[in-house]
Every structure is written in C-alpha cells, then in structure tokens.
C-alpha cells in the first residue's frame, strides 16, 4: 500500500472506503463511495476525494 502524508507533514495510511459508517473520536461518521479513510495518530476518519487531493501528497 502506498503511504501518503498531509502537506503539513503528518504521515497517514490511506484506504478507499466502502459506503457505510465508521466510528471516530467525534462519533459515527458517514463514508460515501469514493471517500478516503485516513488512519493517522491513532485516529481514523473519512475524507472526501476532492479534499484529499488538495490536502495530501504521496510520500516519496
């Protein structure tokens, strides 16, 4: 799996999410088709693809 980092240098593992919900520290979050699931700093949260592409870059 490729590694990505937030442009502010936070490393994260990224997965393509399946529609449904995930439990986060902020409560239950809806995941829609095409969302990315970000795992970083022991947190897990969904990110819309258009936001992800502006905010994260691949670790090289």
Helices (H), 3-59: 49-55
Mean pLDDT of 41-45: 82
Stated pTM of the model: 0.66
Query: In this structure, is residue 36 part of a structural domain?
Result: yes
How many folded domains does the chain comprise? 1
Confidence band (pLDDT; 50, 70, 90) for 41?
confident
Query: In this structure, is residue 58 part of a structural domain?
Result: no
Query: In this structure, is residue 59 part of a structural domain?
Result: no
What does the alpha-carbon distance between residue 21 and residue 60 come to, in Å, rounded to a whole number?
31
60 three-state secondary structure:
coil
**Mean pLDDT taken over the chain:** 80
What does the alpha-carbon distance between residue 28 and residue 53 come to, in Å, rounded to a whole number?
23
What does the alpha-carbon distance between residue 50 and residue 60 come to, in Å, rounded to a whole number?
21
Starting at the edge strand found earlier in the chain, the sheet holding 56-58 runs: 43-47, 36-40, 10-16, 3-6, 56-58
């Amino acid at each position: 799996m490729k590694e990505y980092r937030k442009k502010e240098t936070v490393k994260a593992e990224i997965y393509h999410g399946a529609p449904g919900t995930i439990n986060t520290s902020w409560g239950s979050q809806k995941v829609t088709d095409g969302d990315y699931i970000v795992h970083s700093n022991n947190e897990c949260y969904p990110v819309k693809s258009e936001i992800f592409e502006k905010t994260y870059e691949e670790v090289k």
